[in-house]
Chains A and B, each alone.
Chain A
Amino acid sequence: MKKLIPVLLAAAFPASALLAQQAAPVPAPTSTEVEEDVVGTLDNDAKIAIPAFATPSDVPTQTSAGSTSTLGFSVANVIFADLKNNGLFKPTGPSSLPRPALGQVQAPDYGGWRGRGADMLIQGYVRAEPGGNITVGCYLYDVALGEQRAKAGWTVAPGEWRRAAHKCADMVYSQLSGENPFFDSRIAYIAETGPKNRRLKRLAIMDSDGQNHRYLTTGQTTALTPRYAPDYKSILYLSYFNGQPRIYIYDLATDRQRLLVESKNPLFAPRWSPDGRWILYSMAIGGNTDIYKMPSGGGAPVKLTDAPGIDIGGSFSPDGRRIVFESDRSGSQQVYVMNADGTGQKRISFFGGRAATPEWSPRGDQIAFTHIAGNFRIAVMDPAGGNLRYLTDSWQDEAPTWAPNGRVIQFFRTARNSGKTAVWQVDLTGRNERKLETPVDGSDPAWGPLRP
């Protein structure tokens, strides 16, 4: 895997120019209380201008985006799309803005940008390195104050140029929201095609913005419920290869896959621990499904649940000490929490209806799940089962997955009658909801962590 190399931006410009511009201190997130925080800092309507990135000289590159000049436009456009689709900001993209000269990248025309009504300005440059790599410099300016807020740069392989743009968007997002970054991440999901009764379901992966899309399986065998390994080296998923549902581990470096567990029994619902050392899976024996835990490097599985009925799924708390899971031992699907060794099982969902597919936030403060009471809605609660909040309201939304920063959730929405599915995204305010553009229908999104 190609590494993304941070660079000192001094290389691009005279050292004196750089020294003259110390980055302004990052303002701390303003609110103290979680509930306030969700609604408060995420509702940022900053008008951000993102003109095309400049280049020292317009030369061809090995990227899909063409020369450094067109690449400079494309990088700005990726940043624009990240920030716009996030719904928190009011960015203006490179299509409707003049491109600054290289010299202006570090000496913005504040007056001109004020005249355009910009609060914030993202400028940068793109430079081709002798070996073919690309260096991207990224600068964030507060136009009103007339000062630099942040800067960073990365040298990337030509095929990875989008990552540099996502890194820049992440830097801006973190600066302006006070939250951790999340754009530089990937998603595994199930690509669906065909009529409702003969639907092809293929394992597929893509960047967090839907680009760099790739199918991993052909669809001849139904694939379901993928989970990216925390190190992005492999994917756990369910396949009906040989006609029976079993869990496979797909190695992304070699494109080979193997059975996770040899068993005569059906296996469902694979999950990783946040540190990648453990795998959870659910196995049905004689119709009774229980949750098991095994070391990801191989070793004896341990049975964690023992209730008659269906215990399934499971999601570790970020510290790896607890697991939230789903059980129908009470008569209907409800959400339970247990210690990572299976002790202390306790129901936490008491909302009426059914509660399913719990996923622990990477921040630890919330559990996302599917609440079923008539419609299927994505909701969050705290780990004690309090403070239920609905994020979506549609006929059938299910299977939430968290962004690496625990501030955004993806899920899939099924259309009534047609059975068509789509991957959707919503933030914790519930206000910024949008459908992801995928080549075909999509379900079971599984968001990986911030890329290493």
Chain B
Amino acid sequence: MNKRLTMTMLLASALAMSACAKKAPQILPPDPGGTPGQSSSSGGDSSAPVPGSQADFAAQMMGQDTILFDTDRYNIDATDQTALAAQAQWLQRYPAKRVTIEGHADERGTREYNLALGERRANAAKNYLISLGIDAGRLTTVSHGKEKPVALGSDEASWAQNRRAVTVTID
């Protein structure tokens, strides 16, 4: 409740500034909200990452923090199962750790449908982790639809990389 009130006030004041000025300023004060998916910042230590950190998770997973999907699909195939098993192992080693699974779609879909599709993919990964014994309370999902591609081309190879669910620890 409090948080919501603060948000409303901050947004309102930021926007009031833009509304008062005759010509809208080009640089507006930042929104109070954080950007999702930024919890992946590394510790800045070039040596071995702190055990149980996001950097440790990323290093241990060696790419298996991400699973890929076929066009319009959200099923967990054998490769995904291996990756999710590795994630589950890590999560069992650090039982205090929670993760967010970020679901994504490639650019060849309409915006709203892709938001729902990304959510469905993130949930498929989440449900598989639950089936491996990870407590549902440690797992949250967020869909970014097609809004945050990792591969920037407009070709099959890029789209294949972008149809993904990425597990990110919450430090």
Contact = CB atoms under 8 A, between A and B. Distances in A.
B153 interface: yes
A219 B127 CA distance: 33
B120 A225 contact: no
Given A240-B36, A256-B8, A268 B112 contact: yes
A213 B26 CA distance: 12
Contacts of B154: 395, 416-417, 419
Interface string A233-259: 000001011111100000000111111
B11 A256 contact: yes
Given A258-B4, A310-B117, A216 B148 contact: no
B143 A266 contact: yes
B113 A255 contact: no
A216 B115 contact: no
B116 A282 contact: yes
Given A220-B35, A416-B154, A215 B28 contact: yes
Contacts of A376: 108, 110
B18 A284 contact: no
Interface string B11-55: 110111011000010001111011110000000000000000000
A201 B111 CA distance: 13
B33 A220 contact: yes
A396 B109 CA distance: 9
B59 interface: no
A197 B30 contact: no
B119 interface: yes
Interface in B98-132: 107-113, 115-117, 119-124, 127
B74 interface: yes
Contacts of B121: 287
A255 B28 CA distance: 14
Given A201-B147, A266-B142, A357-B112, A257 B8 contact: yes
Interface in A270-325: 282, 284, 286-289, 310, 312-313
B142 A245 contact: yes
Contact of A216 (B15, B29, B112, B127): B15
Interface in A402-452: 414, 416-417, 419, 443-444
Contacts of A269: 112, 115
B112 A282 contact: yes
Query: For the side of the interface on A, what is the size category?
Result: 35 or more
Contact of B110 (A218, A221, A241, A398): A398
A293 B117 CA distance: 21
A259 B33 CA distance: 14
A68 interface: no
Contacts of B116: 268, 282, 284, 289, 310, 312
Given A196-B149, A312-B113, A287 B119 contact: yes
A213 B115 CA distance: 28
Contacts of A213: 24
Interface in A168-200: 195-197, 199
B123 A220 contact: no
A337 interface: no
B16 A333 contact: no
Interface in B61-83: 72, 74
A42 interface: no
Interface of B: 3-4, 7-8, 11-12, 14-16, 18-19, 24, 28-31, 33-36, 72, 74, 107-113, 115-117, 119-124, 127, 142-143, 147-150, 152-154
29 contacts: A197-B150, A214-B18, A218-B28, A220-B31, A221-B35, A241-B7, A241-B33, A243-B142, A255-B16, A257-B12, A268-B115, A284-B116, A284-B120, A287-B74, A287-B119, A287-B123, A287-B124, A289-B120, A313-B112, A328-B72, A332-B72, A333-B113, A356-B110, A356-B113, A399-B110, A417-B153, A417-B154, A419-B107, A419-B152
